[in-house]
Amino acid sequence: MGRPRQFDESNLLDAATELFWSKGFDETSVEEVSRATGVGNGSIYAAYGNKRGLFLAAFERYCERRARFVREVVTSASGSPRAAVRALFQAVIDDCAAHPDRRGCLMINSIAQLGTRIPEVATIGARTIAAMEQGVADRLRTDPADPAILSALSAHIIVISQGLIQLSRIGIPARRLQEIAEVSSVALPSPWTDHLA
């Protein structure tokens, strides 16, 4: 049995996530995480092995939270499935506005930067996207539902939500993002349009 960690892991991973998200993997060092948290280098290396291990722990935690965010937004939205999709798009836009530094999405950023260098990043990213899609599919499910169409529609909605994040990152204003989101929710592909009114 391993020794219990002598630091607050949640605080450490929060700080590591912020640094990796703001600066990227290559420009973030274990020493910076140590300075930001007061946790010694030795403790970090003992817990995670190396910078890659620390990053993957922070990245997986971030991705789990993003998948939970999607599920919670769509399941808590009242009204029709279309209203739930609108609520998701608005929550994404609001979340982007809460980050005026325009960092985008750590998951998307990391897949682009590290997906081929660190294969676990692509694996975690794919698992997260699947979880997001499943959260949407569970909310949109109607009876009778064509599973293939439901799966494709859920993927379509997640692609739009991720696209809104990327547009925000390049400075597209919230009003324009809302216009895109509204058109996207109105233009949901047939035959689901009838079900989602």
User: Helix, strand, or coil here: 92?
Assistant: helix
List, for residues 128-179, the tens digit of each pLDDT value: 999 999 999 999 886 556 788 889 899 999 999 999 999 999 999 999 999 9
What confidence score (pLDDT) does residue 89 get? 97
Candidates 189, 190, 188, 172; CA nearest to 82 is 188
The answer to whether 57 touches 48, Cβ cutoff 8 Å, is yes
Give the distance, in angstroms, between the CA of residue 66 and the centroid of all CA atoms in the same chain.
4
> What percentage of the chain carries pLDDT values higher than 70?
91
Q: Could you tell me where the DSSP H helices lie in 38-118?
A: 41-48, 51-76, 81-97, 106-114
Q: Domains along the chain?
A: 59-189 (1.10.357)
Side-chain half-sphere exposure of 78, counting CA atoms within 13 A: 0
Residue ranges of the chain with pLDDT lower than 50?
1-2, 191-197
